[in-house]
Structure 1
Amino acid sequence: MNYFSSDFKLGILGGGQLGKMLLNNTRKFDIYTSVLDASEEAPSKIACNEFHLGDLMDYQSVYNFGKHVDVLTIEIENVNVDALEALEKEGKKVFPSSKTLRAIQNKATQKLFYRDNNIPTANFMRFAYASEIKDAIENESLAFPFVWKSAQFGYDGNGVKIIRSINDLNDLPKGECIAEDMIPFKNELAVIVARNENGAIATYPVVEMEFHPEANQVEYVICPARINNEIATKATEVALKVSKAFNHVGLLAVELFLTQTDEILVNEVAPRPHNSGHHTIESSYTSQFEQHIRAILNLPLGNTNTKAAGVMVNLVGAENHTGNVHYQNIETIMKFEGVTPHIYGKKQTRPFRKMGHVTIVNKDINKAREIAEEVKNTIKVISN
């Protein structure tokens, strides 16, 4: 099939910043794109050939949209999977597949998938209702501390809470959830695996992630991870095992815990471009966004090696600021060596909302991390 400067149409479910960065690459290749999103102010709207307004969880909206594209992909997991399955039965190419998405959308189902496929992960218990957790504690089948996770619709730290006492159970959402052992880890790592329809596979170098303690969001992504080769190999092997089990097409970002005893445990996965791969735009020969396009269109996969060490800093809305966004001191950080800001195009800021990111590249990973700290302390995402 001819994808370039042709009648071929790629459909993307979701019009957020991930879609916008995907579209930078479809424009580079002159691939015609159509985007579906529920917001008139979606960041992707300015970069696609067609923009359609619709609810991603609504069966008819997703089905009707998918009927008019040649290949369908996602930039967010929360989409109507029944519609995708119906489209697949009619011969439409959907990547990741509805089967993969069904296993991943629900965290309880995802954890059961790891257990069934002998993939190392933290022990957990599944609950139909949050109220059942108290019974498990009283019966001593569950002990403090543990991590509560909503089974569905969690993102960017939402839907996750550390439970240290009975009082921490107050005000939890009532629906399906899991209680997961709290892992005493040394580090949080991630590996992005790319796979096309022909089965060609490529992995990006292992990265380490540093999280904001309050928002439970990634603050820094550091590539390559500051770990030894043995740990890096082990992490990559686990990620490849996960990829093989899902048999996905496209990207699969595998988030991992490195325990105090150097075990690698899978935390969760995302079947799309991921925050842990944003640095690849500047630091890698092939960005994760170009690689996703290559993979879902069954094109040759690109070189995943890094050109330089990279650190990514998330730009999130400052606390106590809600309203029209202002990027304070952005001109200052642009003077720093190897710094590239990415602004997502969201006009309204609020506390901890992802508004952009900054990549720092340097031959020396420690120098890159030092500059990243300076960036973090200089730029502020505030309201006017």
Structure 2
Amino acid sequence: MIHRMDVFPLPIARIGIIGGGQLGRMMAKAAKRIGCTCVVLDPTPGSPAGQVAGHQIVGAYHDPAKLRELAEACDVVTFDIEDIDAATLIQLGREGHNIQPPPTVLALIQDKLTQKRALSAAGIPTAPFEPMPEPSADAFAAFGYPLVQKACRGGYDGRGVSILDGPDDFDAHLPVPSLVERFIPATKELAVLVARGLDGDHRCYPAVEMRFRPGENVLEMLLAPAQIPAETAAAAEQLAVRTVDALGGVGIFGVEMFLTEAGNLLVNEVAPRTHNSGHHTIEANMTDQFEQHLRAVVGLPLGSTEQLCPAAMINLLGAPGHRGRPVIKGMAEALAIPGVCLHLYGKAATSPYRKMGHVTVLDRDIEQARIKAERVRRLIEISGEDHP
């Protein structure tokens, strides 16, 4: 989409975003910075992304007519969520609409079994796995415990995943078509963001460490860069690039990995979109993941991924037992801490463990950034007005 002689009429591009959540919101903000306009498709009127874009089509992600309306209104269509109608997007692509990453890549990745098979076929190291179209106690026992069961479709933020230690845990299984994989006792869980341009050029962000909340399996804290040996970080970045090259596609990809006790790296999952593990890049890196994704899908040169400052990031989740209009406590005291950067997502209602915002803490000392982030977590609570 690069114009001749590097001359661009404004807007540079009209970008359609399928999904109006926080990822779309931060993408729409980045789009405005680089001279693009956005149209958001989301079923919730006044969605977080729609508030920023200023133009929203209210409709479901699986509504062929609404997806077509979006594609016809925009120069390029992208997405902030995977649970969308890939078949319609594939058809729109055949008709000449520009959809990035290509919907064929989305279709491959959005089914976790298909994704696993593609990674395995490409020689990407992953945990051993087996299809489980009809989960049963006997089949689980034959595979062997402990195991991780993953729903083939629809899982995110810890949903669609069940970790079973033994036969007594079978009642906690997911009664849906799925896959089972060997439980990996990882020393760290890592993520690497890779940007891939229309011309095949790629940029890799430094590896980060992800720490998850037990039970909900939602990202609790992110440390950037990951505190791992330089050779391990380099190997993680090389593996992430290999993974994205194997899958193909354009834009930002989040590659999640396990670092085993033996020092090996195994790819866990891939997200074909901007990712929770890259929120810190807004303040901490030369080019943030959202602008980078837009550069890639529009056809602009990719930006530097250099990290300017160590960072810790925490998600702000809705307090358990609370629903309704959000009420935030502890915000002023948290903002008084040097290096604290607050992002609220503009969601109209809170619910237990719903992502309502995030905080990135910058500090030249990564351990001090972590300590400050822990303090912010203790200070800020997002409750609901109908549950004081």
- TM-score band by shorter chain is over 0.9
1:7-156 map, 5 Å:
8-130=13-135, 133-137=136-140, 140-156=141-157
Aligned: 1:322 with 2:327: no
- Mapped to 2, the partners of 1:150 and 1:4 lie a distance apart of 45
Which consecutive unaligned segments of at least 5 residues does structure 1 have? none
- Mapped to 1, the partners of 2:139 and 2:183 lie a distance apart of 16
Could you say which residue in structure 1 is the equivalent of 2:282? Answer: 281
Alignment length (residue pairs): 380
Using the size of structure 1 for normalisation, the TM-score is 0.96
Q: CA deviation at 1:171?
A: 5.8
Using the size of structure 2 for normalisation, the TM-score is 0.95
Change (3 A) 1:337 1:25: same
Moved more, 204-213 or 2-11: 2-11
Alignment-mate amino acid for residue 84 of structure 2: V
Q: Map Cα deviations across residues 292-329 of structure 1 (whole Å, 9 max, x no partner).
A: 11111111111101110011111001112222211110
- Mapped to 2, the partners of 1:60 and 1:134 lie a distance apart of 42
Secondary structure of residue in 2 paired with 1:109? helix
Could you say which residue in structure 2 is the equivalent of 1:188? Answer: 189
Q: CA deviation at 1:331?
A: 0.6
Q: CA deviation at 1:59?
A: 2.4
- Mapped to 2, the partners of 1:240 and 1:89 lie a distance apart of 28
Alignment root-mean-square deviation, CA: 1.4
Whether contact under 8 Å (1:4, 1:30) holds in the other structure is no
- Mapped to 2, the partners of 1:324 and 1:8 lie a distance apart of 35
- Mapped to 2, the partners of 1:63 and 1:175 lie a distance apart of 30
Q: CA deviation at 1:152?
A: 0.6
Change (3 A) 1:77 1:60: same
- Mapped to 2, the partners of 1:52 and 1:290 lie a distance apart of 22
Alignment-mate amino acid for residue 136 of structure 1: A
Alignment-mate amino acid for residue 368 of structure 1: A
- Mapped to 2, the partners of 1:357 and 1:112 lie a distance apart of 34
Could you say which residue in structure 1 is the equivalent of 2:365? Answer: 364
Whether contact under 8 Å (1:157, 1:216) holds in the other structure is yes
Change (3 A) 1:171 1:313: closer
1:303-318 map, 5 Å:
303-318=304-319
Q: CA deviation at 1:344?
A: 0.3
Could you say which residue in structure 1 is the equivalent of 2:232? Answer: 231
Whether contact under 8 Å (1:150, 1:176) holds in the other structure is yes
Q: CA deviation at 1:45?
A: 1.4
Alignment-mate amino acid for residue 163 of structure 1: L
- Mapped to 1, the partners of 2:12 and 2:220 lie a distance apart of 41
Could you say which residue in structure 2 is the equivalent of 1:166? Answer: 167
Whether contact under 8 Å (2:12, 2:35) holds in the other structure is no
- Mapped to 1, the partners of 2:120 and 2:101 lie a distance apart of 21
Could you say which residue in structure 1 is the equivalent of 2:354? Answer: 353
Q: CA deviation at 1:173?
A: 3.9
- Mapped to 1, the partners of 2:321 and 2:11 lie a distance apart of 48
Whether contact under 8 Å (1:96, 1:250) holds in the other structure is yes
- Mapped to 2, the partners of 1:211 and 1:202 lie a distance apart of 26
Q: CA deviation at 1:4?
A: 5.5
Q: Map Cα deviations across residues 320-360 of structure 1 (whole Å, 9 max, x no partner).
A: 22222111101110000100110001121111100000000
Secondary structure of residue in 1 paired with 2:142? coil
- Mapped to 2, the partners of 1:165 and 1:173 lie a distance apart of 15
- Mapped to 1, the partners of 2:361 and 2:91 lie a distance apart of 43
Q: Map Cα deviations across residues 241-267 of structure 1 (whole Å, 9 max, x no partner).
A: 101101110001100000000110000
- Mapped to 1, the partners of 2:299 and 2:45 lie a distance apart of 32
Secondary structure of residue in 2 paired with 1:349? coil
Instruction: Among all aligned residue pairs of Structure 1 and Structure 2, give the percentage whose two residues are the same amino acid.
Output: 38
Could you say which residue in structure 1 is the equivalent of 2:263? Answer: 262
Change (3 A) 1:4 1:333: farther
Could you say which residue in structure 1 is the equivalent of 2:378? Answer: 377
Could you say which residue in structure 2 is the equivalent of 1:221? Answer: 222
Q: CA deviation at 1:13?
A: 0.6
Q: CA deviation at 1:136?
A: 1.4
Moved more, 162-171 or 325-334: 162-171
Whether contact under 8 Å (1:4, 1:31) holds in the other structure is no
